[in-house]
Amino acid sequence: GEVLRIDAGSQSVEQIAVDMLTEKDVHVTFQLLELAPATTEDDSTLQHDWRSRKVGHTIFKTRGRLILPVNP
């Protein structure tokens, strides 16, 4: 998904250490993304086979401890 906001207590933060995600006052707001085959409209050079796109317009907010960071 795409992270839209990270809240630590009453403050919104740009980033947070992974080990801080387990704190009870950390929440992450995100939107789901999916992979889709790229077309010539997406990439006229045809360098990329895949692209990401949003899944609907639903935004989720959850506790940080439920987030599993992935290094793309």
Q: Is there a contact between 33 and 23 (Cβ–Cβ < 8 Å)?
A: no
Q: Quick one: pLDDT at residue 72?
A: 59
Task: Specify which residues 11 forms β-bridges with.
Answer: 8
What pLDDT, in 10s, does the model give residues 8-32? 999 999 999 999 999 999 999 999 9
Q: How many angstroms separate the CA atoms of 53 and 72, rounded?
A: 15
Residue ranges covered by each domain of the chain: 2-66
Percent of the chain with pLDDT over 90: 56
Q: How many angstroms separate the CA atoms of 8 and 20, rounded?
A: 9
pLDDT at 71 over 80: no
The mean pLDDT of the chain is 90
Residue 17, Cα to own-chain centre: how many angstroms? 15
Percent of the chain with pLDDT over 70: 99
pLDDT at 45 over 80: yes
